[in-house]
Amino acid sequence: SEYFWLVDALDGTKEFITGGEDFTVNIALIYQGEPVMGVVYVPVSEDMYAGYITKEGDKRAIRWTPDRKDDKQITVRPMPAEGVTVMASASHGDRSKLDGFLESFKVKKLMKRGSSLKICVIAEGKADLYPRFGPTCEWDTAAGHAVLSGAGGHVVRYDNHTPLTYGKPIFENPFFIAHAPGIDLQKA
């Protein structure tokens, strides 16, 4: 159908099982293969990220925390001259492939997180790049993808840098790169 919902009631299962804090509830609305609205909720901190993008190109992303009475708009940041901050999975992925990919970039910091929070950290302007060289399903990424799009970022396929789409057979994602604008993927 043109529209469908993708829900992950527990993203970051390993984090949850080990007593970590990086697990989320992800809900995304997909329209013609594109995530147009998404919510990422963090049960431990009660933080919530949300984002949308309209057919007309209007977009917005917010972060809500329980200590604030209102939400805070979030956006990706410009490329820092001192080097990029890279997000990596705390428990998944191919480290040698990640290291090879990052050789083309000036890396200031590598941060490891669980669940879709890796994408939300980019949307919030606290990181710049998240290359994923490991298996994921569409429900793992769609809500974070919508938040990042609403904040001005992108999620693209690793192999050809075209936008990551949703509604594929068996709902598996290829390797992908979530990033803020200004990342030169051609050199990687």
What does the pLDDT look like over 89-98, one tens digit per residue?
Answer: 877 767 888 9
163-183: average pLDDT = 95
* pTM across the whole model: 0.95
Host H or E run for residue 120: helix 117-123
C-alpha–C-alpha distance, residues 162 and 165, integer Å: 9
pLDDT score, position 83? 95
What does the pLDDT look like over 40-54, one tens digit per residue?
Answer: 999 999 999 999 999
61-80: average pLDDT = 94
C-alpha–C-alpha distance, residues 148 and 9, integer Å: 20
Which pair of tokens denotes residue 113? Answer: 């997180």
pLDDT score, position 90? 74
Host H or E run for residue 3: strand 3-11
C-alpha–C-alpha distance, residues 105 and 164, integer Å: 22
DSSP lists the bridge partners of residue 34 as: 31
| Helix, strand, coil percentages, rounded to 5, for the chain | 20, 35, 45
C-alpha–C-alpha distance, residues 28 and 145, integer Å: 9
Phi (first) and psi of residue 170, to 5 degrees: 55, 10
